[in-house]
Amino acid sequence: MMVWVVAILVSLMLIGAFLVVAIPDLLGAVAASTAVSLALSVLFVVLRAPDVAMAEAAVGAGLAGVLFALALRKTESRRTRDEEAS
């Protein structure tokens, strides 16, 4: 049973990683990257490493996702202003 759970989580992570590269929408790519980090944190819980899982969820999914989204928002607003000016 444990092997199937790990296989499913790894499959979800691979699909999410493929979507990060394949999705043309940058916000969707950030969401897919966050989903990969969340699946990895669940995998760490399954493998009985809850301290590593909490760190991955906080840094990988939480902080990195927010920073990527904020950076994307800043660059999109700058691009919009530059397009309006020209």
CA angle 33, 14, 55 (to 5 degrees): 50
**pTM for the full predicted model:** 0.82
Please report, for the chain, the start and end positions of each structural domain, with discontinuous segments joined by +: 2-85
Per-residue buried b or exposed e for 34-60, using 16+ beta carbons within 10 Å of the residue's own CB = bbbbbbbbbbbeeeeeeeebeebbeeb
> If you ran DSSP here, which 8-state letter would residue 47 be given?
T
Helix/strand/coil for 52: helix
pLDDT tens digits, residue range 2-47? Answer: 899 999 999 999 999 999 999 999 999 999 999 999 999 999 999 9
